Structures are given as C-alpha cells and as structure tokens.
C-alpha cells in the first residue's frame, strides 16, 4: 500500500497505482479488515483507476471482486471478471480469477476448470491452487481437495487456507483426528486467522470433546462482538 501511494505522489494520474491499492484492500478485507471498511476503499480506488484508464484489467478485476464478495451482485461480478480476462492476454488470466465468481451463478465445475487453466498458465500461484482446493472441497471431491491442498503447501508452506481445506476434507471423510491436526497446524502459523479456531472446535466436537469446543467458541464469540460487526 505504501509503495502504491508513493507512486501516486510521483504521478497522481497513474492508474495502475490506484488499481494496486484496490487489490491490496481486497486482500485485506474479511480476514484483516472488516468488510464494510475494506471493500468500499477497494471500490473507490478501482473507480479512480478506471476514470484514468477505463480498460485497465486489474482495476476491473478489483471491481468484480467487490461486486462478488461484498455487494453480492454475482452476475455483475461475473461480467466484470470475464471482461477483465477479455482485455488481457491469456498469460495474465491466472491473476484475474474469474473462476471465483462462477460457483455463485451455479457453475462450480466450470469454476474448477477455469482455475485449473489458471494454474497451467501460472503454476507457481499458491493462491490459485488454494482456490482449486477450496472448490474441490465444495464439490465433495475430498481426496482431490486434500491432494490440491498439499500441492498448495509445496508452493507456500504458510498457506493457512490449505491447512483449513485439508482439515475440512478429512473431517468430511470422517477422520476428525487428522482434521484436528491440520486445523491446529494452520492456527499455529504466524498469519493465522483467529476465527478459524472455530474449525478446531468443529473437530473437537466430532471427537466428543464438547467442553473444549465450547470454550473455544465462547472466546471467539466474545472477540467477534468486539472486533468485527460495525453495523
């Protein structure tokens, strides 16, 4: 964020810097900054970028993410993300993530295909790999989700979401003990997201450790009231 803002000090009309700021806000939202704070900032920055360059794919992508993840206009998001892809070469498809909106318009298999194409084009993208693991989990391909989760961890050993998806796949397969190990592994990482402790509670509940599960949930519930909801 600082670097993009520094770029704007040098050139206030630099559209890509605004697009970069929009992307940063999208990445901060939900896990690190409350959505009603982060997404409007992302949208404002994306719109400033598009005022200066109406066909800047990165800004259109951020706008699509805001529509998808915050405004819940899934058809609009799909249009924006596809538009961004159309503007860019196939080589940049992997960075534009149109696949993330597709499950929301009833196209989960297409989303997985789309994201797999993105991985072919950008095989080192842990983010895309993580999305594939997530959607395989959602499609009930639990072994596939576990395999993809491991691949993601090879790309980024600090991929918390991969540990989450591997854990959830194991839990869905009835192996709560393994699930608990994966959830705890993820929550031991430096970038852990506190609310994901609730998944530890899920595994504990499945193992019959209800008191410990409820203690975790009680603590999280208190934190959630203090730090999240602003409405």
Q: What span, in angstroms and rounded, lies between the C-alpha atoms of 217 and 152?
A: 28
Q: How far is the CB of 73 from other proteins (least distance, A)?
A: 6
Paired with 33 in beta bridges are 29
> Rounded to the nearest whole angstrom, what is the least distance from the CB of residue 33 to other proteins in the complex?
7
For 203, the token pair is 């595994």
**Residue 218 is encoded by which pair of tokens?**
């009680």
In sequence order, what are the beta bridge partners of 29?
33
H-assigned helices in 53-175: 57-69, 74-87, 108-121, 126-138, 142-155, 160-172
Comparing CB distances to other proteins, the nearer of 32 and 51 is 32
Cβ distance to other proteins smaller for residue 7 or 44 = 44
Contact 186, 152 (CB under 8 A): no
**Closest distance between other proteins and the C-beta of residue 34, in Å?**
6
Backbone angles phi, psi at 33, to 5 degrees: -130, 140
**Least separation in angstroms between CB 196 and other proteins:** 6
- In the complex with other proteins, which residue's Cβ is closer, 56 or 81? 81
Tokens describing residue 197: 């402790």
Cβ 110 to other proteins, closest distance in Å? 14
Nearer Cβ to other proteins (76/87): 76
> What is the distance between the alpha carbons of residues 18 and 228, in angstroms, rounded to a whole number?
26
Output 56 or 171, the one with its CB closest to other proteins. 171
**CA distances for 110 relative to 105, 140, 155, 227, angstroms:** 10, 15, 24, 36
Residues that bind other proteins (CB under 8 A): 29-36, 39, 68-70, 72-75, 103-106, 108, 134, 137-138, 140, 168, 171-172, 174, 176, 187-196, 198-199, 201-202, 205-208, 210, 213-214, 216-217, 220-221, 223-225, 227-231
């Amino acid at each position: 964020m600082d670097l993009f803002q520094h770029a704007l000090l040098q050139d206030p009309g630099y559209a890509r810097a605004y697009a970069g700021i929009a992307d940063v806000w999208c990445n901060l939202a939900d896990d690190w900054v409350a959505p009603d704070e982060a997404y409007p900032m992302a949208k404002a920055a994306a719109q400033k970028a598009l005022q200066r360059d109406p066909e800047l794919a990165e800004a259109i992508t951020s706008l699509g993410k805001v529509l998808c993840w915050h405004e819940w206009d899934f058809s609009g998001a799909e249009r924006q993300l596809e538009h961004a892809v159309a503007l860019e070469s196939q080589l940049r498809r992997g960075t534009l993530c149109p696949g993330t909106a597709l499950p929301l318009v009833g196209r989960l298999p297409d989303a997985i295909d789309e994201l797999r194409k993105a991985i072919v084009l950008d095989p080192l993208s842990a983010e895309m790999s993580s999305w594939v693991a997530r959607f395989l989990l959602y499609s009930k391909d639990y072994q596939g989700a576990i395999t993809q989760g491991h691949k993601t961890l090879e790309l980024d050993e600090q991929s918390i979401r991969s540990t989450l998806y591997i854990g959830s796949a194991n839990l869905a397969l009835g192996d709560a003990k393994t699930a608990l190990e994966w959830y705890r592994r993820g929550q031991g990482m430096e970038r852990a997201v506190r609310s994901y402790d609730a998944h530890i509670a899920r595994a504990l509940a499945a193992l019959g450790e209800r008191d410990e599960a409820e203690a975790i949930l009680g603590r999280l519930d208190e934190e959630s009231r203090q730090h999240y909801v602003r409405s």
